Amino acid sequence: MPDVLIVMIAVLIFVIITIAKGVRIVPQGEEWIVERLGKYHGTIIPGLNIIIPYLDNVAYKLVTKDLILDVQEQEVITRDNAVILTNAVAFVKVTDPVKAVYGVTDFGEAIRNLIMTTLRSILGEMDLDEALSSRDKIKARLRESIADEAVDWGLTVKSVEIQDINPSASMQKAMEMQAAAERERKAMVTRSEGAKQSAVLEAEARLEAAKRDASAQVMLAEASAEAIRRVANAVGDNPVPLQFVLGEKYVAAMRDLSQSDNAKTVILPADIQEAVKGLFGKVAR
User: End-to-end alpha-carbon separation of the chain, Å?
Assistant: 175
List, in order of start, the domains of the chain with CATH numbers.
16-63 (no CATH), 66-167 (3.30.479.30)
Is residue 234's pLDDT more than 80? no
Determine the residue type at 276: V
CA distance 160 to 192: 49
For residue 70, give Cα distances in angstroms to 46, 83, 102, 109, 166: 27, 21, 23, 10, 17
Q: What is the pLDDT of residues 57-105, one digit of tens each?
A: 899 999 989 899 888 888 888 888 888 888 899 899 999 999 999 988 8
Of all helices (H) and strands (E), which one includes residue 181? helix 169-235
Q: Coil, helix or strand for 66?
A: coil
Between 204 and 226, where is the model more confident? 204
- Determine the longest span between alpha carbons in the chain, in angstroms: 180
Cβ(172)–Cβ(102) below 8 Å:
no
Q: What is the pLDDT of residues 134-146, one digit of tens each?
A: 888 888 888 888 8
Is residue 151's pLDDT more than 80? yes
CA distance 76 to 123: 7
Is residue 238's pLDDT more than 70? no
Cβ(268)–Cβ(254) below 8 Å:
yes
Between 254 and 36, where is the model more confident? 36
* Per-residue pLDDT at 282: 47
Is residue 157's pLDDT more than 80? yes
* Per-residue pLDDT at 215: 85
For residue 118, give Cα distances in angstroms to 69, 115, 143, 145: 15, 5, 9, 7
Residue 85 is classified by DSSP as E
Other Cβ atoms within 10 Å of 160 Cβ, number: 26
* Per-residue pLDDT at 242: 59
CA distance 135 to 251: 94
* Per-residue pLDDT at 284: 44
Mean pLDDT of 147-167: 86
CA distance 52 to 34: 10
Is residue 285's pLDDT more than 50? no
Cβ(65)–Cβ(89) below 8 Å:
no
Between 172 and 57, where is the model more confident? 57
Nearest to 73 by CA among 31, 120, 15, 34: 120
Q: Which residues touch 269 (CB under 8 Å, ≥6 apart)? A: 275
Is residue 197's pLDDT more than 60? yes
pTM: 0.56
Averaged confidence pLDDT in the chain: 80
CA distance 166 to 87: 10
Q: What is the pLDDT of residues 259-284, one digit of tens each?
A: 666 655 655 555 555 655 555 554 44
Is residue 217's pLDDT more than 50? yes
Q: Between the ranges 27-41, 175-189, 202-216, 240-254, where is the mean pLDDT highest?
A: 27-41
